[in-house]
Amino acid sequence: MPVNKIVASFDEAVADIQDGAVIMVGGFGTVVSMPSCLLEALDRKGVKNLTTVSNSSGFGADVWRMQGAKFPEDMDILVRNGRIKKAIVSAPVSAMYVNNFEKLLRAGKVEIEMVPQGTLAERVRAAKAGIGGFYVPVGIGTVIEEGKEKKVIDGREYLLELPIKADFALIHAYKGDRWGNLIYRGTSRTFNPTMAGAARVTIAEVDEIVELGELDPEAIVTPGVYVDRVVARPRECPAP
């Protein structure tokens, strides 16, 4: 039987995500890097008490519609609809304005674990790579060091950081094939390849599904082995 990870719809792709799941969400700041259609489907499913792992907590679809985004949903769709119990996040709020996450945070309606961005990326990568923990200097002398094991290596102080394990990783890529091989476009790569394979199930939302063999093996960024499901957005995409 040919391997076929392609799933017909976004709703089908997220059908087994249950209340209380730990969900990684790829992308960075701008919505074009994010799995917007998977987030919409997850919201439609009505799950609650999620623990989310993401770089940011969202600006909201209105911001992105104004910039002309066809798929404008970011983390805010889960935030504003009360689906998140705890956020493990690097950039939860904006210096420029008050987002919905900040409102929930101030009202005590969501828990937060704020993680330096590089440490977040490496904790995700550690989960993917089967690493039990690692030491970084980042956070020494700040609130980040609270409760963590310290170790001096070659005369420098380090903190022990542990992997973040998740049930599902929702990511966005430019093109994918039925094996789950993925390529990305420009700066929309970000956390997406880092999270691919870091969760028990990785679901990739792609702009376009291509035939097996069409992606240049030298250019594939995420090997299909890390990806469990591939689902395509309903649109044509501009050439890079």
Partner 1 sequence: MSSEIPKKERLDRQIMALRVAKEFKDGNVVNLGIGIPGLAANFVPAGREVIFHSENGVLGYGEITLPGEGDLDLVNAGGQTVKRAPGMCFFSHDESFSIVRGGHLDISVMGAYQVSEKGDLANYMVPERQVGTIGGAMDLAFGAKKLIIVMNHTTKEGDYRIVKKCHYHLTAPKCVDLIITDIAVIEVTKKGLVLKEVAPGWTPEDVQKLTEPKLIVAPHCREIELM
Which CB atom, from 7 or from 61, has the smaller least distance to partner 1?
61
Who's near 108: CB < 8 A, 6+ residues apart?
Answer: none
- Does 221 engage in binding with partner 1 (CB under 8 A)? yes
Nearest to 88 by CA among 38, 51, 123: 51
Stretch that binds partner 1, among 7-15, 79-87, 92-100, 211-219 (CB under 8 A): 92-100
Number of shown-chain residues binding partner 1 (CB under 8 A): 50
Which CB atom, from 116 or from 209, has the smaller least distance to partner 1?
116
- Does 187 engage in binding with partner 1 (CB under 8 A)? yes
Among 52, 100, 119, 181, binds partner 1 (CB under 8 A): 119
- Does 52 engage in binding with partner 1 (CB under 8 A)? no
Q: How far is the CB of 68 from partner 1 (least distance, A)?
A: 8
Q: Which two tokens stand for residue 77?
A: 């769709």
Among 194, 199, 227, 230, binds partner 1 (CB under 8 A): 194
- Does 95 engage in binding with partner 1 (CB under 8 A)? yes
Residue appearing with tokens 């993917």: 128
Q: Which two tokens stand for residue 191?
A: 């956390």
Nearest to 184 by CA among 54, 35, 71, 59: 35
Provide φ and ψ at 222, rounded to 5°: -105, 115
Provide φ and ψ at 174, rounded to 5°: -80, -55
Site string for partner 1, 197-216 (x = CB under 8 A): --------------------
Among 11, 29, 85, 178, binds partner 1 (CB under 8 A): 29
Provide φ and ψ at 230, rounded to 5°: -125, 130
Question: From residue 59, how far is each of 37, 45, 101, 129 by CA, in Å?
Answer: 16, 22, 9, 31
- Contacts to partner 1 by CB under 8 A: 28-30, 32-33, 55, 67, 69, 90-95, 98, 102, 105-106, 114-119, 121-122, 124-125, 136-144, 184-194, 221, 240
